[in-house]
Amino acid sequence: MRYPKGQKAESREKLVRASASLAKQRGFGVSGVDALAETAGLTSGAFYRHFEGKDQLLAAIVETELETTRARFATIDPASREQLLIAIDAYLSLAHVRHPEAGCVLPTLASEVARAPDETKAVFERALRELTAVLGEKVGEPTLASALVSLSVGAVTIARALASDEARREVLGAARKSARALLATL
């Protein structure tokens, strides 16, 4: 089992899910333990009965969130190019750009994982491998799946740093167009 046995599992799960939203919105490193714990209705005192420190929470967030993203793509019918394009368009949408707290963890927290301890990166690597493996089944080619992830994560990351919706639409539209071009090369 993934969580330690006992009744702690429920609180821990809520802590991970709720603090993930805050971390995706404001950033993990700049968010204090008090604020992170409060998202689950807890105090920092309780927090340290679930995690040895902040670093462990980031690893748990990354693992849970990447699993969620993977699940979102897992339902796609491998034979349906249309379903795949709908999922890609949703990822590369203004709605996703506008709501990081509800979106994929990659554009928001990947750059923080890059500065985290090796154990955190190991969790990230394992979870990303599973995500790209699932996407590879749907796309037909594993290498292309990886590139589509990079393209989409980069586009959303950049779009969020832009000031105008006009510029955001340009970046997202360009990414959607290139995603189609890449899928057409198969």
Partner DNA sequence: GTCTATATTACGATAGAC
Partner DNA sequence: GTCTATCGTAATATAGAC
- Euclidean distance between CA atoms 163 and 103, whole angstroms: 19
Q: What is the DSSP string of 115-128?
A: TS-HHHHHHHHHHH
The values of phi and psi at residue 98, to 5°, are: -75, -20
The interface with a copy of itself within residues 111-130 (CB under 8 A) comprises 111-115, 118, 121-122, 124-125, 128-129
Query: Taking CB under 8 A as the rule, which mask of x and - marks residues 9-48 in contact with a copy of itself?
Result: ----------------xxx-xx------------------
- Euclidean distance between CA atoms 135 and 78, whole angstroms: 9
Which of 20, 13, 15 is closest to 37 using CA atoms?
15
Minimum gap (Å) between residue 25 Cβ and DNA: 14
Residue 64 lies near a copy of itself (rule: CB under 8 A):
no
Q: Count residues contacting DNA (CB under 7 A)?
A: 23
The stretch among 3-11, 65-73, 102-110, 134-142 that binds DNA (CB under 7 A) is 3-11
For residue 157, the partner it binds in DNA, a copy of itself, none, with Cβ less than 5 to 8 A by kind, is a copy of itself
Given 6, 79, 166, 186, the residue binding DNA (CB under 7 A): 6
Which of 96, 91, 182 is closest to 139 using CA atoms?
182
Q: For DNA, give the closer residue by CB, 90 or 114.
A: 114
> How many residues would you count in the chain?
186
Residue 8 lies near DNA (rule: CB under 7 A):
yes
Q: For DNA, give the closer residue by CB, 33 or 183.
A: 33
- Euclidean distance between CA atoms 137 and 10, whole angstroms: 33
- Euclidean distance between CA atoms 180 and 151, whole angstroms: 12
Interface ranges with DNA (CB under 7 A): 6-8, 11, 31-35, 37, 41-50, 52-54
